Amino acid sequence: MADLHHLGKRERRTVVAELLERFDLTAAARKPASTYSGGMKRRLDLAMTLVGGPRILFLDEPTTGLDPRSRHTMWQLVRDLVAGGTTVFLTTQYLDEADELADRIAVLHEGRIAAEGSADELKRLVPGGHVRLRFTDPAAYGTAAGALPGAVRDEAALTLRVPGDGSQRALRTLLDRLDATGVEAAELTVHTPDLDDVFFALTDSTTVPAPSPSPAEAPTTTPARTKETPR
C-alpha cells in the first residue's frame, strides 16, 4: 500500500511503524497475514486503508463475525478515526453498533432508504415507551391497577404496563400516584423504543414517516461523523 501511494523510503517506514503500533500489530508484523485471527485481519485491513491518510473512509460491515472483544476494539478504532477528523461511512447489520457509533443513520429496506436521522430522531418515530410495574401482592396489584386506568394489565404476572416516555417528570407523576394509593411495586422497569423497534416498524409498515432534515439542518460539527446503514 505504501508503494501504491508512492511514499518515500523514510516516510514509508514511519507510516507503517505508526499504523502497526496504532492497531496493535507490531508484534505480528513479520508473521504471514494468513496466520492472523479474524480480529487481527480486520485491523490489518483498516490499517492498510489509512496508509494514504484518507479524509473519508467507507467500511463495509467491519465487525461481522468478530468476537465481542475484537468488536469493541474495532469500535474504539472507528471512534479514534472520527476524533482525528476522518468521516466514516459504515454499513452494519448490528443496530446496537449503529446506536453506539453513528451521529447519522440511514436504514435501508428493499433497496431504498426507509428513514434517515440521528438515533434519537429515529427512535421518536416509534411509539411504545412504557413503564413496567411488577407486584408480588395481588391486593397491591389490584389497588395500583385501579389507580392507573390507562395501564395494560397482566393479571397472571401481576404486572402493569403504563404508557410513558420515561422522562423524569413522567416517572415522578407515576410514583406520586402510587404513593397516594399506599402501595409499592416490587420492580419498576422503564422501556424506551430502541433501534430494533425502529427497524421492525420501518420494515413491517410503510406508515412511519422518515425525517428529512434539510442540508442546513444537518450537523456540521458533531462528536462523531460516522454514518451507518443497517441492512
Q: What is the CATH number of domain 130-191?
A: 3.30.70
Q: Residue 166: its pLDDT value, please?
A: 73
Rounded CA-CA distance 44/29 in Å is 10
State the alpha helices, DSSP H only, in 102-157.
Answer: 119-123, 138-147
Q: Residue 205: its pLDDT value, please?
A: 53
Q: How many helices (H) and strands (E) does the chain have?
A: 8, 9
pLDDT tens-digit profile, the chain (231 residues):
776 666 778 887 888 888 888 888 888 888 988 999 888 898 888 888 888 888 999 999 988 888 898 889 889 989 999 999 999 999 999 999 999 999 999 999 999 999 999 998 998 888 778 999 999 999 999 999 999 998 999 999 999 999 987 788 889 999 999 999 999 999 999 988 889 989 998 887 544 444 444 433 433 333 344 455 444
Domain with CATH 3.40.50.300 in the chain: 9-123+206-230
For the chain, state the CA radius of gyration: 24
Written as nine digits, the cell of 124 is 421518536
Tell me phi and psi for residue 105, to 5 degrees: -130, 135
Residue/partner pairs of 135-138 with CB below 8 Å, 24 or more apart: 135/159, 135/160, 135/183, 135/185, 135/186, 136/186, 137/183
Rounded CA-CA distance 60/223 in Å is 22
Place of cell 422522562: 167
Domain with CATH 3.30.70 in the chain: 130-191
Cβ-based neighbour number of residue 212 at 10 Å: 9
189 and 164 Cβ atoms separated by less than 8 Å? no
| Pairing mode, strands 112-117 and 159-163 | unpaired
In sequence order, the 6+-apart residues with CB closer than 8 A to the CB of 65 are 38
Q: Residue 206: its pLDDT value, please?
A: 46
Whole-prediction pTM: 0.63
Q: Does domain 9-123+206-230 have CATH number 3.40.50.12280?
A: no
